[in-house]
Chain A
């Protein structure tokens, strides 16, 4: 158990680094911009989720984890909604 627990964090780190390396590859790829943007955001989301999971491993309390995850989710939702709203009002979206 102890041996396995010691190995796991390194696997998480490698996965996060792999996501960021993939992001660099996607940014330079010759695919259309919308597909690349979706891939970049998806890879960032995976990397952040993995990092968050790793960072909160030592908290040992669901309430404390929620104290961090709650504001993260709230910030993401607020940013997406208000940016879409600004984009629509500014005419950059739904044209």
Chain B
């Protein structure tokens, strides 16, 4: 590969375009999540009162959803290992990852439904509800898109597609660890 009008660019040919594109996307996506987490932190810091999370959120359900995502991260790793080794098990691992991701989205829908029906908390109920729905919904959207991508890749699991989808899925998982800590665990300390 040559640089624009000149000498060869060292190492440029070694970088697959899919990974470059995904790295750029994830870099910008981090800023999106960062902005939402910043909005949550600012609302929380400036609010004179904040609703007790134990009255609204089911921490057990959130812990189960976290376990599902962590398990999906493990199955994704297994799929990548199988893909790198050329084993046929890769498809099964990808489908297992998609199933766990689908279960996560389903669990989130159950949580949203419970908040709307049992606690009558809509998107515009208060600042805490709004930022909760937006933050977790934005993440849930990422998981749902990831499930669709996983299902598409599982039909013909090429090595490069596996590397890119694995990068995306691990990123979605690690963002959830931050959201779980900030939304479900830390507020318990101030409200009990």
Contacts and interface: CB of A to CB of B under 8 A. Distances in A.
Contact of A82 (B42, B189, B190): B42
Nearest to A31: B189
Interface in A34-86: 36-37, 40-41, 43-44, 47-48, 51-52, 54-56, 58-61, 64-65, 67-68, 70-72, 74-76, 78-79, 82-83, 86
B166 interface: yes
Interface residues of B, number: 49
A contacts with B: majority SS: helix
A20 B174 CA distance: 11
A55 B167 contact: yes
Given A27-B189, A75-B33, A68 B174 contact: no
11 contacts: A9-B77, A33-B189, A44-B177, A48-B178, A55-B174, A56-B167, A58-B80, A58-B166, A71-B31, A75-B34, A89-B46
Given A44-B178, A71-B28, A76-B34, 15 more contacts: A9-B77, A16-B73, A37-B189, A40-B181, A41-B186, A48-B178, A54-B77, A59-B167, A64-B15, A67-B24, A68-B30, A71-B34, A75-B33, A82-B42, A90-B46
